[in-house]
Amino acid sequence: MHGLVNRSIEYFARQTHGDAVWTAAATAAGVDPRGVELMCEQDDSTARRLLHEIAALVGCSPPELAGDIGAWVAQRSAIRRLLRFAGRDFASFVTTLDELRGRARLVLRDLELPAISVAPLPRGWKLTPACDEVWLHALAGVLHAMADDYGVLAVIEIRGDAILVDVPVVDFNEGRPFSISDPSVGAA
């Protein structure tokens, strides 16, 4: 797994729960608490152990934590901008999620994101990512954050190995401002 994934977990833990939580979780997971090596391929089990330890410390389940991390990552201004590039509205964002894996690879050869297939529903979409439960929750977290970003009222529900996105109100509010040309617009 790419070091960037573990780095995201580290930043999330530090910023959301404090350095002490990160240090304790990293030590328990056998990871150098000074910080994750960014560009190194890391054992898949590292992320799993980190999630497990952090979840235990903050009192939630690893999938719940993955959902929080997904939403948090999608709100980092650099990532949020890259995600917004995928579509001018929430509908085109969701329907082009099958490109996400290719976009990620374009940027970082070794960053393996799950392939996502998107099927339309009467009032939304059914997403079926080829991934485990933790990634599924992380992706649902990203979708929550991006629905808010686009100003769309969306109900996002995990059912089995799929995510159901139901959009009862398309223009719920203005959403967060975004400009392709000006990174300061809508920046946190």
Would you say 17 or 81 has its CB closer to other proteins?
81
Would you say 6 or 52 has its CB closer to other proteins?
6
Helices assigned H by DSSP within 59-126: 62-75, 77-84, 90-95, 100-107
Considering the complex, what minimum distance in angstroms separates the CB of residue 135 from other proteins?
21
Would you say 87 or 114 has its CB closer to other proteins?
87
Considering the complex, what minimum distance in angstroms separates the CB of residue 122 from other proteins?
26
* Site residues (vs other proteins, CB under 8 A): 4, 7, 34-35, 38-39, 78-79, 81-82, 85, 88, 103, 106-108, 179-183
Considering the complex, what minimum distance in angstroms separates the CB of residue 31 from other proteins?
15
* Count of C-beta atoms within a 10 Å radius of residue 34: 7
Rounded CA separation 157/147 (Å): 13
How many alpha carbons fall within 13 Å on the CB side of residue 101? Answer: 11
Would you say 34 or 159 has its CB closer to other proteins?
34
At 153, give phi and psi (nearest 5°).
-85, 110
Report yes or no: 149 and 88 within 8 Å, Cβ to Cβ. no
Would you say 44 or 85 has its CB closer to other proteins?
85
How many alpha carbons fall within 13 Å on the CB side of residue 106? Answer: 6
Q: Is 53 left (phi over 0), alpha (psi -120 to 50) or beta?
A: alpha
Considering the complex, what minimum distance in angstroms separates the CB of residue 107 from other proteins?
4
Considering the complex, what minimum distance in angstroms separates the CB of residue 81 from other proteins?
6
